[in-house]
């Protein structure tokens, strides 16, 4: 049975968020990623596996190496979900700004 992972479960973990930040700029191998963490390569591989299952990360084989890179389109799902809150925050900040102006 295949486990269907949720994008938000994947990004809830600080290590996985750090991996996303690292591979957002350039594709990296698991060994290169592991160098950035004080944990085992196996632990980093488990995080990569979860990110891959959520389709946030894609892999590309080059010779004997596997490079992982960010799946930008999948990150757009997170952005779309956050957009609803961004609008609420902007409205509230604008209301606060108006209130502060009237208090001056």
Name the residue among 32, 20, 19 with its Cα closest to residue 62: 32
CATH class of 7-103: mainly alpha
Name the residue among 61, 68, 51 with its Cα closest to residue 6: 51
Q: What residue segments make up the domains of the chain, in order of their start?
A: 7-103
pTM of the model: 0.77
Q: State how far the alpha carbon of 81 is from the alpha carbons of 15, 16, 37, 64, 75, in Å.
A: 22, 19, 29, 38, 10
Q: Which two tokens stand for residue 28?
A: 């990296």
User: What is the distance between the alpha carbons of residues 78 and 85, in angstroms, rounded to a whole number?
Assistant: 12
Return the sign of the alpha-carbon dihedral for residues 38, 14, 64, 2: positive
Tokens 């938000």 correspond to 8
Give pLDDT tens digits for 41-59: 999 999 999 999 999 999 9
| pLDDT value of residue 75 | 87
Name the residue among 65, 61, 56 with its Cα closest to residue 22: 56
Tell me the percentage of the chain whose pLDDT exceeds 90. 55
């Amino acid at each position: 049975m295949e486990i269907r992972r949720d994008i938000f479960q994947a990004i809830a973990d600080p290590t996985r968020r750090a991996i996303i930040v690292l591979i957002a700029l350039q594709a990296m191998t698991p060994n290169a990623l592991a160098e950035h963490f004080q944990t085992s390569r196996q632990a980093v591989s488990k995080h990569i596996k979860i990110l891959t299952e959520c389709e946030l990360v894609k892999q590309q084989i080059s010779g004997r190496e596997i490079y992982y890179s960010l799946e930008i389109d999948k990150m757009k799902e997170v952005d779309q979900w956050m957009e609803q809150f961004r609008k609420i925050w902007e409205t509230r900040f604008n209301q606060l700004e108006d209130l502060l102006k009237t208090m001056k």
